[in-house]
Each structure stands twice: as C-alpha cells, then as structure tokens.
Amino acid sequence: MKLPLLAVAILVILSACNRQPRSEEYFSAHLDEARQVVAECRRGSIRGEECGNADYAVKLARAQALRDHFFMKDR
C-alpha cells in the first residue's frame, strides 16, 4: 500500500519540477497572481524566470495605468 502512494508522490514532485515558467503574457492577463509572485520573489521563496516575467508584467501594467492617467484616456 505504501509503495503506490510513494510512487504517486514522486511523480507529483517530478512533474512540478518540469513545469515551464509562466510567460509575461500570462502574468499580464493575471496581474493579481503576478503581484503575489513578485512578493514571493522578493522574500526569496521563488527564484528563476517567473520572477522576471511577473515583475515585467506588473511594471508594464503600472506604466500603462500612468500613461492612461496622464493622457486622460478614460475621460
């Protein structure tokens, strides 16, 4: 009984390791998640390409919001 459970646990761990990093486009469409990832990256609990992708998406959204505000796009 323990052997199948161990095999499943190993497969889950290995599949999580092989996951592709989420793209800038993904994080642009999911800004709340991007902000959470950026916070985790700053704490050091997440590393890698996702940190850069999430950070870029958050900065891009902030820049677009500022541009819209200053050029009064919503008015």
Q: What is the pLDDT of residues 10-66, one digit of tens each?
A: 665 655 566 799 999 999 999 999 999 999 999 999 899 999 999 999 999 999 999
Which has the higher per-residue pLDDT, 62 or 75? Answer: 62
Q: How confident is the model at residue 71 (pLDDT cuts 50, 70, 90)?
A: confident
Q: Answer yes or no: is 64 within a domain.
A: yes
Q: Answer yes or no: is 4 within a domain.
A: no
Q: Answer yes or no: is 70 within a domain.
A: yes
What's the farthest any 2 CA atoms get from each other in the chain? Answer: 65
Q: Answer yes or no: is 16 within a domain.
A: no
Q: Answer yes or no: is 51 within a domain.
A: yes
Range of the domain at 61: 21-75
The token duo for 63 is: 């820049």
Q: Answer yes or no: is 9 within a domain.
A: no
**Number of domains observed in the structure of the chain:** 1
Classify residue 34 as exposed, middle or buried by CB count within 10 Å of its CB (0-12, 13-18, 19+): buried
